[in-house]
Amino acid sequence: MSGHTHDHIDWADQLALLRAADTLDAPAQAAIAARLAAKLPANPTVIDLGCGAGGMSTHFAQALAARDGGTIVLVDATPELLHEAELAVRAAAGVQNGSAHTNGRVLNLSTEPSSPDSAATAGTASTVEVQAVVADLADSSLPDLLPTADLVWASRVVHHLPDQQSAIGTLTAVARSGGVVALAEGGLSFSCLPWDLGLGRPGLEDRLQAAQAEWFVGMREGIDGAVPMPYGWTVALERAGLADVSSFSALVDHPAPGPDGLTDYVHHHLSRLATHGAENLSDEDRSTLAALLDPDSPHYLGNRRDLFLLGVRTVHHGRRP
């Protein structure tokens, strides 16, 4: 397994799924980034904790480049993902690739435009600095490894950490006074399949989501030192000492037949469910899922024109006093 993760998931192996999700989430991510960036001070520092493939921070980079610039710090425990994220965000910001990173340190950073054309395309992109840091988000010393931030962002990562409340406290400590901590957690599960697929028992997706929920319970129970958090994300932010706690949501809506890349995303998504939730499915549902994923099957999902993607990303945020 690449890097250290508490959930025992090889996230480097999930790169294709993360990239596909970032592409399809792009309109929602851009709206979220614009809303959060609009209230930031001049030349802000934005830290993306658990940055994955970097999709969200490409939108932060574009938002900062469109105003007076700033600094984006990418943090992840999986070096392979961090490298890909850095390449993507530097391209979005219009700066040279090639910084090196080690645990808790950043070396040889460049903020020069990669070319005159890229600088022109990105506007004031030369004022956006991109840093990359390998670090464990559950490490209580994280605030000592990072600069203080005007915005601390963590998307669907805190729920993979042993003590979620403690992790939110650590994230809060990274924010400067007056800074914002924002978590993308919860929302509404994504749907992508019609109710009746023409094979198997109708309602497969509902059962897949139920199986995923059971897998998630087991995943949490399998994390060493896992601590329950029997309350919602806004309460967790308040318990971390944040003020003005609130939430907002962004819709992800790609009606059938969907954009390019939707079929690949659905294939990756269902393949992951087949791996993580199979033991919670009936033999009939496992057989149906196998047929949908088999390119040689007459029921292969790649031959369908009724796939779609509909879901909601929810952001919970608060301000450090």
- 299-307's contacts with Cβ under 8 Å and 24+ in sequence apart are 299/197, 299/198, 299/199, 301/263, 301/266, 301/267, 301/270, 302/263, 302/267, 304/263, 305/256, 305/257, 306/194, 306/256, 306/257, 307/192, 307/193, 307/256, 307/257, 307/258, 307/262, 307/263, 307/266
Which residue's structure tokens are 């319970």?
217
pLDDT of residue 244: 98
pLDDT of residue 246: 98
Do 232 and 102 reside in the same domain of the chain? yes
pLDDT of residue 35: 97
Do 276 and 143 reside in the same domain of the chain? no
Q: Is residue 289 part of a domain?
A: yes
pTM for the whole thing? 0.85
CA 282, distance to chain mean position in Å, is 30
Do 103 and 63 reside in the same domain of the chain? yes
Do 139 and 214 reside in the same domain of the chain? no
Cross-strand pairs, 153: 48, 182
Distance CA 215, CA 209 (A): 10
pLDDT of residue 121: 39
314: helix, strand or coil = strand
Q: Is residue 74 part of a domain?
A: yes
pLDDT of residue 145: 93
**Which structural domain, as residue segments, surrounds residue 183?**
11-189+226-253+311-319
Distance CA 68, CA 63 (A): 9
Do 57 and 149 reside in the same domain of the chain? yes
Do 181 and 237 reside in the same domain of the chain? yes
pLDDT of residue 14: 61
Do 198 and 60 reside in the same domain of the chain? no
Among 50, 56, 101, smallest CA distance to 76 is for 50
Q: Which helix (H) or strand (E) holds 37?
A: helix 15-37
Do 42 and 117 reside in the same domain of the chain? yes
Q: Is residue 6 part of a domain?
A: no
Kindly give the parts of the chain with pLDDT less than 70. 1-15, 17, 95-126
Q: Is residue 85 part of a domain?
A: yes
Do 46 and 90 reside in the same domain of the chain? yes
Q: How many domains does the chain have?
A: 2
In the structure encoding, which two tokens stand for residue 145, read together? 């490894």
pLDDT of residue 133: 96
Q: Alpha carbon of 169 to those of 18, 45, 57, 233: distances in Å?
A: 26, 19, 22, 12
pLDDT of residue 29: 95
Among 161, 184, 1, 186, smallest CA distance to 81 is for 1
Do 123 and 203 reside in the same domain of the chain? no
